[in-house]
Structure 1
Amino acid sequence: MTTIDGPFLSIVIPAYNEERRLPSTLATIMAFLAHEPYTAEVIVVDDGSDDRTAEIAAATPGVTVLRCEHRGKGFAVRAGALAAQGSIILLCDADLAVPIEEWSRLRAAIEAGYPIAIGSREGLGASREGEPWYRHVMGRVFNWITQMIALRGINDTQCGFKALRRDVARDLFTRMRIYGDDAPVVRGPAVTAYDVELLFLARRRGYPIAEIPVIWRYGAETKVNPLRDSWRNLRDVLRVRLNDLCGRYNTTSAPVEEIAP
Structure 2
Amino acid sequence: MDQPVLVYALTALAISIPCFYIALILLSPPPIITRPSEKKYRSHSAPNAPRALPSLSDAGSVDLSVIIPAYNETARMPSMLATTIAHLTTPALKNSRTHELLVVDDGSADGTSDLALKLAKEHPESEIRVITLEKNLGKGGAVRHGMLHARGHRLLMVDADGASRFEDLELLWKAMDGVAPKNEPAVVVGSRAHLVKTEAVVKRSVIRNILMYGLHTILRIVGVGHIRDTQCGFKLFTRRAAQQIFPAQHLATWIFDVELLLLAKQLGIPVEEVPVEWHEVAGSKLNVVKDSLQMLRDLLVLRANQMTGRWKVDVGSIPKM
**Structure possessing the higher radius of gyration over alpha carbons:** 2
Same fold (TM over 0.5): yes
Deviations 1:15-70 (A, max 9, x none): 00001111111111111111123110001000000011101111223311111121
Q: Secondary structure at the match of 2:69?
A: strand
Q: Which residue of 1 aligns with 2:191?
A: 120
Unaligned runs of 5+ in 2: 1-58, 121-126, 181-185
Tell me if structure 2 keeps the 8 A contact 1:119–1:159: yes
Q: Secondary structure at the match of 1:243?
A: helix
Q: Which residue of 2 aligns with 1:187?
A: none
Q: 2:128 aligns with which of 56, 63, 74?
A: 63
Q: Which residue of 2 aligns with 1:89?
A: 155
Structure 1 stretch 107-116 or stretch 74-83: which is displaced more?
A: 107-116
Provide the C-alpha distance between the structure 2 equivalents of 1:81 and 1:174, rounded to a whole number of angstroms. Answer: 9
Q: 1:213 aligns with which of 254, 264, 275?
A: 275
What's the offset of the Cα at 1:221? 1.6
Q: Secondary structure at the match of 2:263?
A: helix
Q: Secondary structure at the match of 2:231?
A: coil
Q: Which residue of 2 aligns with 1:105?
A: 171
Q: Which residue of 2 aligns with 1:239?
A: 301
What's the offset of the Cα at 1:255? 10
Q: What is the identity, as a one-letter code, of the residue corresponding to 2:100?
A: E
Structure 1 stretch 115-124 or stretch 77-86: which is displaced more?
A: 115-124
What's the offset of the Cα at 1:7? 1.1
1:32 aligns with 2:87: yes
Structure with the bigger RCO (C-alpha within 8 Å, sep 6+) is 1
Q: Secondary structure at the match of 2:84?
A: helix
Tell me if structure 1 keeps the 8 A contact 2:60–2:239: no
Provide the C-alpha distance between the structure 1 equivalents of 2:266 and 2:197, rounded to a whole number of angstroms. Answer: 27
What's the offset of the Cα at 1:147? 1.4
Tell me if structure 2 keeps the 8 A contact 1:201–1:249: no
Tell me if structure 1 keeps the 8 A contact 2:249–2:259: yes
Identity %: 37
1:199 aligns with 2:272: no
Matched residues, number: 243
Deviations 1:178-216 (A, max 9, x none): 33xxxxxxxxxxx51000111101000000100111111
Tell me if structure 2 keeps the 8 A contact 1:126–1:214: no
Shift in CA distance, 128/96, structure 1 to aligned 2, threshold 3 Å: farther
Using the size of structure 2 for normalisation, the TM-score is 0.71
What's the offset of the Cα at 1:254? 7.0
Shift in CA distance, 204/10, structure 1 to aligned 2, threshold 3 Å: same
Deviations 1:148-201 (A, max 9, x none): 12323111110110000012112101011233xxxxxxxxxxx51000111101
Q: Which residue of 2 aligns with 1:222?
A: 284
Using the size of structure 1 for normalisation, the TM-score is 0.86
Unaligned runs of 5+ in 1: 180-190
Q: What is the identity, as a one-letter code, of the residue corresponding to 2:223?
A: A
Shift in CA distance, 9/252, structure 1 to aligned 2, threshold 3 Å: closer
Tell me if structure 2 keeps the 8 A contact 1:146–1:152: yes
Q: Secondary structure at the match of 1:60?
A: helix
Shift in CA distance, 126/195, structure 1 to aligned 2, threshold 3 Å: farther
Q: Which residue of 2 aligns with 1:23?
A: 78
Q: Which residue of 2 aligns with 1:139?
A: 212
Q: 1:173 aligns with which of 232, 237, 246?
A: 246
